[in-house]
Structure 1
Amino acid sequence: MIESIIKTMYSLLQKRPQVQSEPYPHVVIEEALPWDLYEELENTFPEKQILDTQPFDDGICYRMKANIMLDQKFQPEIWRKFTEYHTSAEWFNEVNELFKDYMPKVLHKKFTTNDLGARGWADKNKNIWTDCQTVMHKPITETTSRTPHIDNPMEMWAGLMYMPYKNDESIGGEFQLHNVKNKVSKVDMTKGRQVFDEDLGPVVKTIPYKRNTFVMFANNSTNTVHSVSKRISPTTYRRSVNIIGEFKRGFAKMYEVQEIR
């Protein structure tokens, strides 16, 4: 019992948010973690280890995935424990319950460690993967770091916790939810599943890039279009944590979409 309480204190859903259904199922939680816990994570953010990884997205984005942070030798320990919880069956069930009304029936059950595992650690018999990634984007000014797009169809849900530096005075870098003009049936894979202009609708909700803010959405249709607004006068990296649940490659998808290459 005590161990369970200690684990769930790391949960980004401990405030028990209500799901907003428009433009698609999502939650936004300000002050998601107790401030003492958040500030310990903030003060020990593993910046050097992240920047030692190979960059993605033409060199502008660094991601350190759960398979690194789950190593028993990984330091800081608080980040290992945070990652352990947010890749666990307990966490998966917590999210599953939150988005139950929007998930396929195959997910309407309680999962155990026999059913799922962290990406990079899960054995081949597990058909569900979880991941927790610490992320840093370079302070670019030419464009947004993420144009309007949808995520991988194998993904069930995704969460994003903002961790800006205290002295980050830039404007922008906000998470944006879009409407669509038409049901999205195809995406541009050369631009990271970017949505084509004829289907893209306006931004209908913006979540400010603010400390200890968590946004999460159910990836339950091709219309879950989102983006990141352009940062104005950035001088620091954009820091965040990505938390993901997905089907193993080749096992299942949440939806079908044509991927134009």
Structure 2
Amino acid sequence: MIHLGSVLSPSHYAGQPFPHFVVPDALPASVYSTLAAALPDDVRIRQGGEPGDNRRFSWSARHTLVDGELDPAWRSFIAANVSQDFLDAVLAAFAPAIRQRYPWLEDRLGPISGWRAGVRRRDDFSTADVLLDAQVCLNSPVLAGASAVRGPHVDKPDKLFAGLLYMRPDDDTETVGGELQLQRYRHSSARFDGSQLDPGDVETVRQVPYAGNTLVMFLNGIDAIHAVTPRQPVARSRYFLNIVGEVPVPLFDLKSRQRRFRQLRRLATRIGDALHGRRRDSGQLRD
């Protein structure tokens, strides 16, 4: 089965606002149509979770690889995207940017060409240098009003790279929104609330449509800011395969970039929600 690392050609690479690839029609049409036809339904992907309103659900490789009821084409595809061949191809594509941004990383892990792949939350760093995941994901339908499943943020500092392959069904003509935004800081004084940034602190450089068979892969960093545009109320879920490459050391420091009095502001928000009967149920998996 083909893996997504094999389609990261230089023609699809961009260095701004941070190193990334955007690949339309990433998979051969026959492969994509087979996967699209066998996409698990929402109940399977949610694995018992309640759908809520625009919530994120992630079905990780450590579970799907051993799920005998999952379509064999999907098990094969997931296995290919947590394989050593996949890791080798992604690292080769990003090697110049990795060495430029994190020149100390090869001192810690050895030469990039020798980094070993493992499956995240099944294996550990005693036998692997990069733990991979390929999660079958959805954002549940939008019910109460237009909402964004995730605002401007960066991924966890131990992620080396991340990506997604959109799996929008061909008959989904109702979804409006849900595009991925690649962003940059408006000013150097911007500060984080956890991993989140205020929308006023960033500007969008590139927007990738929510289109089936579109791949986005990027190198993580303190500047790898991204967000999802609001979806209008819709009975459809938003589907994608989420790619993760995790390393044993943090690549950047978020703690020194936190907004002042963050905990006090969060406490004030919770008190205000309780007094006004508001319920914040994001349901997001921050992984």
Corresponding residue number in structure 2 for 1:256: 253
Contact 2:146 2:233 in 1 (8 A): no
The one-letter code matched in structure 2 to 1:255 is F
Which is worse superposed, 19-28 or 58-67?
Answer: 58-67
C-alpha distance after superposition, 1:149-173 (max 9, x if no partner): 1101100011111111222222211
Residues 170-181 of structure 1: pairs in structure 2 closer than 5 A: 170-181=175-186
Matches of 1:158 and 1:29 in 2, distance apart? 14
Structure 1 residues 77, 215: closer, same or farther in 2, change over 3 A? same
Corresponding residue number in structure 2 for 1:4: none
Matches of 2:52 and 2:156 in 1, distance apart? 15
Q: Does 1:23 align with 2:27?
A: no
CA RMSD across the alignment:
2.4
Matches of 1:134 and 1:212 in 2, distance apart? 14
Count of aligned pairs: 244
C-alpha displacement at 1:202, in angstroms? 1.4
Structure 1 residues 201, 177: closer, same or farther in 2, change over 3 A? same
Corresponding residue number in structure 2 for 1:3: none
SS at match of 1:67: helix
Matches of 1:229 and 1:254 in 2, distance apart? 27
Contact 2:117 2:129 in 1 (8 A): yes
Corresponding residue number in structure 2 for 1:144: 148
The one-letter code matched in structure 2 to 1:160 is L
Residues 88-237 of structure 1: pairs in structure 2 closer than 5 A: 88-103=83-98, 104-105=102-103, 106=106, 108-111=111-114, 115-123=116-124, 125=126, 126-140=128-142, 141-169=145-173, 170-183=175-188, 186-189=191-194, 193-197=195-199, 200-219=201-220, 221-237=221-237
- The structure that is helix-richer by fraction is 2
Structure 2 counterpart of 1:66, from 58, 61, 64: 61
The one-letter code matched in structure 1 to 2:139 is H
- The structure that is strand-richer by fraction is 1
C-alpha displacement at 1:184, in angstroms? 7.1
Corresponding residue number in structure 2 for 1:14: 7
Matches of 2:76 and 2:34 in 1, distance apart? 12
Matches of 1:98 and 1:184 in 2, distance apart? 32
Q: Does 1:82 align with 2:74?
A: no
Q: Any runs of at least 4 consecutive aligned residues in structure 1 with deviations exceeding 6 A, and if so which?
A: 55-59
C-alpha displacement at 1:78, in angstroms? 1.0
SS at match of 2:30: helix
Structure 1 counterpart of 2:47, from 32, 52, 55: 52
Matches of 2:96 and 2:51 in 1, distance apart? 34
Matches of 1:49 and 1:69 in 2, distance apart? 10
Structure 1 residues 197, 144: closer, same or farther in 2, change over 3 A? closer
Contact 1:163 1:210 in 2 (8 A): yes
Structure 1 residues 252, 59: closer, same or farther in 2, change over 3 A? same
Unaligned runs of 5+ in 1: 1-6
SS at match of 1:187: coil
SS at match of 2:7: coil
Which is worse superposed, 204-213 or 65-74?
Answer: 65-74
Matches of 1:116 and 1:184 in 2, distance apart? 37
